[in-house]
Amino acid sequence: MDPVLSRRAFLLTSGMTAAGLGLEIALASTPATSSTTTTTTTATTVHTVASPRGAAGYRRLADGPGWRRVTRTELAEAKKGRAERRTALACFVQFTDLHITDVQSPQRYEFLRTGAVSAWRPQEALTAAGAVSLIEQVNTLRYGPATRAPIGFVMTTGDNTDNNSRIELEWFLTAMTGGRFTPNSGDPSAYEGVQDSGLGLYWQPGSGVRDIDKRAGFPRLDGFLEAAIREVSSPGLAVPWYSTIGNHDQLFGGAYSAAGGFFADLATGSRKLFTLPASEAAAVYRALRQGPDPTGARLREAWKRYKAKARTVTADERRAPLSPHDYIAAHLDPAYTGAGPVGHGYTRDNLDSGRLDYSFRIADGVIGISLDTTDRGGDYRGSVGSRQLAWLERTLKTHADDIALLFSHHPSWAMTNLVPDPARPHDKRHSGQELLAVLKKHRNVAAWINGHSHRNKIVPHGGFWEVSTASHVDYPQLARVIELADNHDGTLSLFTTLVESAAPHRTDLTDLSQNGLAALYRELSFNAPGLESALAGLPGDRNTELLLKRR
């Protein structure tokens, strides 16, 4: 997702566009009947969803009622008997916005919390444990809940990491392919971030400081920070997985281009800013929100003005940013092959060209296309270049007889950034609306699957569905199982089923094991101050059967 902010409230609220309002109208006028599917759903949100208890303050989570499956017929009629005729074409899982985060990095923007309380989240130190728990859940699922087809692969749709950092990418790749890693940087024996700073601006879990989060009911948890930087063990995904890049994977802080060395020096250096005056933080917040500010001029100005207030931390070269070449090369490293494929979609051709777009065979008659919508010129919002659009058109024409599924990080409504790519200044950038116009010309496109907004939202576009999925860092912390089936009546069904991590809904505050931390990660995310309350979306954005015509 966005930089500090778009992953917070401001982008989330701006995400409810006219398309979103149209969705509400469509749902109101379209019968929302339960699917006839009766397969087992005990490991999905059809069965149960983590739900809060109590009415105020810090609220505990427990098992809650599941979300029923809604059948949507805006694009095609739901014909009787289709469940008996149906054959599965593809089944896979979408991960998006894992945001595996080095919370001790000097590059982070926690200090903006003085201007916007949602600019820092109390759960951020547990992103690694949460991601591994999600991987464990997918390994347990094995089959699609609607068609019972085996899960063929997992696709990440970007913001796999948070700070465009070499060490975060190593943690992500290890989690996905299996192995042990320690989500700690800087001092190998101690935590050096904002949560032991003594500042009341942040939740201080191991001290008696009456910080703003404890005043809201957050607990004191002795040993939390020590547990958060302990070694994590991941089984790795048991199925192949593919990778799509997001703005946080490619840009400094998810927003700023590589112009100048300020952010690179900051990330690997030994000075970390913990706080800013509220007026200054609010001004930086506004600059980011109003954008574009592709080189981070406003933030750099504030940092330099108050650098004398920065604290000394342990420098770490592993926090260095990655170029697109570095990012692709890391995926191609045999150490991270896991269940495959080698490169996880990226090939030697991608390495040589620096392009992060590719296509891959999902199944007989089904092609997948991964599109890089991150603008290397800067800004958290997305776009695509003319060369990419031309490549996409060629790919769709080449596979005109296949059903095409497009994957990207940004949804159409968040692709409004037309800042030129510094490496290709004459390559015109194109908006989400322009990309939609291209997709609508190709009758074989069935779905565009993306993330970034941290909100569940499903929108019909003439002949295909746009499926945007909530993140795994903000509550309700979800991934999505997607199943494509032929109903043999001139229609296809695209089933979407949301899943939570394997961690229990009920949190034991005395359990600081890896599994206990994953459960706490979810509960903290629910209680994060300033969290947008509607990220789960409407019922028709969650567990669905999406009908469309087979063309």
Relative to beta strand 464-468, strand 491-499 is: unpaired
- For residues 284 and 307, give the distance between their C-alpha atoms in angstroms, rounded to a whole number: 15
Mean pLDDT of 115-136: 96
The residues, ordered by sequence, that sit 6+ positions from 405 with a Cβ below 8 Å of its Cβ are: 90, 362, 366, 367, 368, 369, 446, 447, 448, 449, 484
C-alpha atoms less than 13 angstroms from C-alpha of 431 in its C-beta half-sphere:
6
Torsion sign, CA atoms 99, 103, 108, 110: positive
pLDDT at 3: 41
Range 87-104 burial, b when 16+ CB lie within 10 A, else e: ebbbbbbbbbbbbbbbbb
pLDDT digits (tens, 9 = 90+) for 184-221: 999 999 999 999 999 999 999 999 999 999 999 999 99
Does 364 score more than 50 pLDDT? yes
As a whole number of angstroms, the distance between CA 272 and CA 309 comes to: 9
The residue-averaged pLDDT of 488-517 equals: 98
Summary mean pLDDT of the chain: 91
Q: What is the C-alpha separation between 13 and 212, in angstroms, rounded?
A: 24
pLDDT at position 294 is 83
In 31-151 the beta strands, taken as DSSP E runs, fall at 48-52, 61-65, 70-72, 87-95
Classified as helix, coil or strand, 244 is strand
Strands 366-370 and 358-363: antiparallel
For 260-274, 275-289, 442-456, 509-523, which range has the lowest pLDDT when averaged over its residues?
275-289
Q: What is the pLDDT of residue 42?
A: 62
Confidence of residue 287 (pLDDT cuts 50, 70, 90): confident
pLDDT above 90: percentage of residues in the chain: 84
Residue 24, pLDDT above cutoff 60: no
Tokens of 210: 């009456």
Q: Return the beta strands (E) in 239-380 as ranges.
A: 241-244, 271-272, 311-312, 358-363, 366-370
What would the mean pLDDT of 317-341 be, rounded to a whole number? 97
Between residues 55 and 525, the one the model is more confident about: 525
User: Is the pLDDT assigned to residue 308 strictly greater than 80?
Assistant: yes
Buried b (16+ CB within 10 A) or exposed e, 431-469: bbebbbebbeebebbbbbbbbbbbbbbbbbbebbbbbbb
CA distances from 462 to 345, 367, 433, 548 (A): 29, 20, 13, 9
Neighbours of 273 (CB within 10 A): 20
CA distance linking residue 305 with residue 112, whole number of Å: 15
Q: What is the pLDDT of residue 138?
A: 98
- 215 by Cβ neighbours in 10 Å (0-12 / 13-18 / 19+) ranks as exposed
Q: State percent of the chain over pLDDT 70.
A: 92
